[in-house]
Amino acid sequence: MNGVCVFGVTGGIAAAKATLAVSMLVKQGLDVHAIMTESACEFVSPLTFRTLTANPVTVDMFEEPGQWNVKHVSLAQRADLFVIAPATANFLGKTAAGIADDMLTTTVMATRAPVVIAPAMNSGMYGNPIVQRNIASLKALGYMFVGPESGRLACGDVGPGRMAAPERIVDFAMHALHGRGRPSLAGRRVLVNAGPTREPIDPVRYITNRSSGKMGYAIAGAAAARGAQVTLVSGPTNLPEPEGCALASVETADEMYQACMTAASDADIIIAAAAVADYRPASYSCSKIKKTADDMCIRLERTRDIVAELGQIKGARVIVGFAAETDDLLVNAQSKLVSKNLDIIVANVVGGERSAFGSDENSVTLLRPGLEPEALPAMPKLALAHEILDRAASIIRK
């Protein structure tokens, strides 16, 4: 994705890890401009960020005697995204209080871009009510936070305060960038299910499918970045937990059903992106099945159709389902839209070269009752997540 990202680095040992986040953002196609505080330069040389970004790094407001650097205004205006990682207690305190006394705090103050902050500090500092108050007031003003994580800190303490992993920061920042200028979902509750299910045959074998969970995780992360309270009910995947979501990990269709029914009670939007097994072994063998015959038969029984049952008790909720088909995509999708009482169905092809399964891109058609099908161009699942959320948000009934 094109765009300008201003990346602020403040003085903490995690500044070294920030270099990884910067290079990932550059790989995403962003034009990254680093601003460092003076103490950040004690940990990492500006030359490192300059080399990674291929852009000059700014530290000082007054680089040459008698010259005032007005870059803070131009960078602030050009920014499509602002990331501060690591963010110290000092940075949070100054920004929350409206103090702009260096290049970084001044540029943050002047920007209208979404601001993603990854705090990193000692647990004692992080737990200090002053820091917590500053974070709460910045959050209330729309500043977005990722992390910190708990773990062993550079000072030897164990507890919260470690900067979020660079992948998490970048993932969240990309959601913030894609979500820029789109309707906020603050105050909304969104339930997303994602991934495959596993239906056990015996203690070592199960039936599953090729769903990667990427689409559902992208939707959950996108909704959280737009301020929603998100519950993600996920079957087994290899994906990192999206930032800001309450994750309920499940394995079987039955567990997914229970978790979704619980979370659905107060949801405004339900998005069923999971590839739930339609059948499960009718009986489970507690001991491993031996290969005694040349062939064998596993009798299957139907699972419950989660989204169809949610459709029956829909009330004011907006429900989005997915149709993954190898044949007659639109005809099949249209019939599911009606039979499951959905508001939107996302029709995508599976199998073959254009398969949605496992891919980072998807090209889908959206079907809505009474409206012409809307074929969307191929786009990254991250961008598609926001398109789906935009349509769902536009039909919220309460």
**Contact positions vs ligand C5P (CB under 6 A):** 253, 272, 274, 276, 278, 303, 305-307, 321-323, 336
Q: Which is nearer to ligand C5P, 274 or 384 (CB)?
A: 274
Closest CA to 363 of 383, 342, 343: 383
Q: Which is nearer to ligand C5P, 19 or 332 (CB)?
A: 332
Q: Could you give the C-alpha distances from 72 to 57, 68, 274, 331, in angstroms and in order?
A: 12, 10, 45, 54
Shortest CB 336 distance to ligand C5P, Å: 5
Q: Which is nearer to ligand C5P, 48 or 234 (CB)?
A: 234
Q: Which is nearer to ligand C5P, 120 or 347 (CB)?
A: 347
286 is known as an active-site residue: no
Q: Which is nearer to ligand C5P, 7 or 322 (CB)?
A: 322
Shortest CB 321 distance to ligand C5P, Å: 3
Q: Which is nearer to ligand C5P, 72 or 317 (CB)?
A: 317
Shortest CB 276 distance to ligand C5P, Å: 4
Shortest CB 311 distance to ligand C5P, Å: 9
Residue 12's contacts (CB-CB under 8 Å, 6 or more residues apart) are 40, 43, 86, 88, 120, 121, 163
Shortest CB 387 distance to ligand C5P, Å: 17
Shortest CB 274 distance to ligand C5P, Å: 5
Shortest CB 289 distance to ligand C5P, Å: 25
Q: Which is nearer to ligand C5P, 5 or 270 (CB)?
A: 270
Catalytic residue among 155, 245, 260, 297: 155
The residues assigned a catalytic role are 155
